[in-house]
Structure 1
Amino acid sequence: MLNRRLAATALAALGLAALAGCAREQAPAVDYVLLDGQKASSRDWNGKVMLVNFWATSCATCVKEMPQVVATYDKFKGRGFDTVAVAMSYDPPAFVAKYAETRKLPFAVAIDNTGTVANAFGQVQMTPTTFLINKRGEIVKRFVGEPDFAALHGLIEQLLAEA
């Protein structure tokens, strides 16, 4: 009888742990402005795996990782994956535009001049900070600093395979 109770307790604990592992935070609903002045919204992300990268032209790590962010976008873009690079409020828009133009960034670049987007994502202050969001709009992973891109690619593959 005691073994059955222990087994039942263990199974219940495992069930709660599994359930807790499945509970993910929804990405915030945000509206933002792209470099070209076009308005966009996180509602446009529905059904996509999204990489949301908070960065600044003055951030050495951001500049160092950007070619890998571009390579990640290029690798997965045809499979329901997209990227938006959100320039921090303190980054002069002219610097962001020049950087995006000279580096030929192939994905959307947003200017968060009021800090609204960074605040919605949990008061992002350190750059780079990157969020990986699944097709259901849930935050799967938050990276502070440069991600391990091999591991990131593996996670993106998994998320793209989900229904």
Structure 2
Amino acid sequence: MQAQIENTAGKRLWIKLSAVAVVVALAVGGYMSMSNTHAAPDVSFTNLKGEQVSLKSMRGKVVMVNFWATSCTTCVAEMPQMVQTYNAYKDKGLDYVAVAMSYDQPNYVVNFVQTRSLPFQVTLDTQSKLADAFGDVRLTPTTFVIDKQGNIIKRYVGEPKFAELHALLDKALAT
């Protein structure tokens, strides 16, 4: 009888310890997945000026890659703040690439860029190669912030909270 009680108590202790270990493993895994950065894809594109540019060539700068479309009302609405953000941070080491989605009419994109005097690089993703490389981007706007080492540190789906974005850029540019 005493052996049965000790055996049952030992099983309970083992179950409790196993449960604690699972909880700790899940917590650590969750924390690591939130804190880990991952490398931005090694992509190249041709900007509207006809220049071939690789994302890798921008290492050493913080880069924002913004997927957008002229038919996206949120994209059009956020663009003036994106321009302001770029202008405020470009001399501190920010680069910016606006990627027009494959369904966007090239002549609409060119017209938008010209009439709004967009100061940063713009590219047409006519075959969705860039959208696919960044994880099959479908929703616009989607913006990635990439650190100086080429790691994605933030992904915004929808218009970012610009105060939060600016704080992130301040931090990324300071390192």
TM-score, normalization: structure 1? 0.87
Q: Which runs of 5+ in 2 are unaligned?
A: 1-20
Secondary structure of 1:101's match?
A: helix
Counterpart in 2 of 1:97? 110
Any idea what SS the aligned residue of 1:106 has? Answer: coil
Deviating beyond 6 angstroms after TM superposition, the runs of 4 or more aligned structure 1 residues are 12-18
Counterpart amino acid of residue 46 in structure 2:
V
Higher Rg: 2
Q: Is the 8 A contact 1:32 1:40 kept in 2?
A: yes
Residues 22 and 89 from structure 1, CA distance in 2 versus in 1: closer, same or farther, beyond 3 angstroms?
same
Aligned to 1:142: 155
| Cα distance change on mapping 1:18 and 1:60 into 2, 3 Å | closer
Aligned residues: 152
Higher helix share: 2
The residue identity in structure 1 corresponding to 2:99 is: V
CA distance in 2, matches of 1:67, 1:123: 26
The SS at the match of 1:109 is strand
Residue 154 of structure 2: SS of its match in structure 1? strand
Consecutive unaligned residues of structure 1, counting only runs of 5 or more, are: 1-8
Q: Report sequence identity in percent.
A: 49
Q: In the aligned structure 1, how far is the partner of 2:28 from the partner of 2:157? A: 30
User: Is 1:124 aligned to residue 131 of structure 2?
Assistant: no
The residue that corresponds to 1:87 in the other structure is 100
Q: Which residue of 1 aligns with 2:6?
A: none
Match runs of 1:1-163 below 5 Å: 21-162=34-175
